[in-house]
Amino acid sequence: MNPAILVHGGCGPRSEADGDDQQSRAGALAAAKAGHAVLRGGGSAIDAVERACRVLEDDPAFNAGYGAVLNEDGVAELDASIMDGASLKAGAVAVVTTVKNPITAARRVMERTRHVLLVGAGAEAFAHEAGLPRIENQALVTEKARARFAAERLATHGTVGVVAVDVQGHVAAGTSTGGTSSKKRGRVGDSPLIGCGTYADDRLGAVSCTGVGEYIIRVTLARRVLELLDRGLSPQAAAEAGLAEVVRLGGEAGVILVTPQGELAWATSAERMSRAWVTRDNETGSAFWK
Ligand code: ASP
């Protein structure tokens, strides 16, 4: 079958967009194309998801990896998770401060430990032992993140996420974030929590979420969307119905979804959610506003 990939670069209100739409769309498109190149070459969905997430983590336009928002102490604390729909194996890291690409650390947790989630100093030590370079936290901090922290203490958020299906019909999902700005030290959002920010199951599909983690966690949004799909809703209706549960609690969120047949869907309650895709019919595109 033809592969497909959909990426998001976080959702949020118009006022936080700072005129970043061009940069954000271009970055999302570059990530989708990088992931699709892996899929086109016969690579697995999990490889494509990791590849595309790394492109987004390295792009300062997004709140993940380099350019992440800062916590209340001015430190970038990163969370990420990845899940393979074929095996239902998953890996995640949270509250890491010395790793440039947390999605790869998450994948190492999945493949090289008997655990799903490692946090803080233990996650960092593991990641470095697994070969990921140690970097100074300040090397993750961009001028924009510093200015936002110093001048405004803006309550902002954002995240990156990728869902993909490969030529064999296997799905995978990954999510990576700096979380919410000025968050409390040690705060963990939905992104590294399997079933909340990320879920993948070859029998149903793969989902990555963005938005205010505290609400997403309470409805286990990623898993919830797949449950709704399992009940017979279309991909689009499942994404929207899952989202409606977050909205009902007063939260804001966005989801992306791929099915094993290569259907793509997305939904957000926010004013913007940058996203980019390559469909199973090889159509490429990107968008920023809702
Ligand atoms: N979901 C992320 C978190 O709460 C932030 C976001 O996606 O905007 O950590």
Confidence of residue 13 (pLDDT cuts 50, 70, 90): confident
Sequence spans of domains, the chain: 4-70+142-289
Supply the pLDDT for residue 29: 97
Banded pLDDT at 102 (limits 50, 70, 90): very high
Any idea how long the chain is?
A: 290
If you measure from the C-alpha of residue 209 to the centroid of ligand 1, how many angstroms do you get, rounded to a whole number? 8
Helices 120-129 & 102-112, crossing angle to 10 degrees?
80
Residue 150: other Cβ atoms inside 10 A: 10
Residue 149 pLDDT > 90, yes or no? no
Which residues lie closer than 8 Å to 77 by C-beta, 6 or more apart?
A: 71, 95, 96, 97, 178, 179, 183, 185, 186, 187
The secondary structure element, H or E, covering residue 175 is: strand 171-177
Nearest of 71, 73, 80, 74 to residue 99 by alpha carbon: 80
Q: Is 159 a catalytic residue?
A: yes
Instruction: Write the single-letter amino acid at 226.
Output: L
CATH architecture of the domain with residue range 4-70+142-289: 4-Layer Sandwich (3.60)
Ligand 1 site, residue 268, Cβ cutoff 6 A: no
Q: Which of 98, 156, 159, 268 is catalytic?
A: 159
Separation of 63 CA from ligand 1 center, angstroms?
A: 9
**Would the CB of 262 count as within 6 Å of ligand 1?**
no
Sign of CA dihedral 106, 111, 117, 121: negative
pLDDT tier for residue 45 given thresholds of 50, 70 and 90: very high
* Residue type at 245 in one-letter notation: E
Q: What does pTM read for this prediction? A: 0.97
Query: H helices within the chain, ranges in order?
Result: 21-40, 45-58, 102-112, 120-129, 143-147, 213-218, 221-230, 235-248
